[in-house]
Amino acid sequence: MSYQLTLTQAERKAFDWVGDRYNSGQVQRLLEKCLPKNSEWSQAGDITFNLAEHIAWEVRDLAEQENFQWPCFAATLATKLNGLCFKIV
């Protein structure tokens, strides 16, 4: 089973801005492993990531460590990321 997450360029820039100050840095590295072929993290436009179940669980575990707060992210991005986390079964 895999899970999909689509991030805009601005949302990916938010990950870049927060960096390793919170678990989002680790989440970013997990997402980068799931980049579609011929895609780059910094490219223009949306990117849809297909996360294998074990990677989705790692993202969820990292989010849970910070009480699903996603520090420094806009509410819309935090809601999108939590939507992914709460779909994982």
Structure confidence by residue, pLDDT tens digits, 35-85: 999 999 999 999 999 999 999 999 999 999 999 999 999 999 999 999 999
> For the whole prediction, is pTM greater than 0.85?
yes
Is the pLDDT at 8 greater than 90? The verdict is yes
DSSP label at residue 23: T
Q: Determine the pLDDT at residue 89.
A: 85
Count of beta carbons in the 10 Å neighbourhood of residue 26: 15
- Res. 10: pLDDT tops 90: yes
Q: Which pLDDT score is estimated for 68? A: 98
Strands (E), 25-79: 47-52
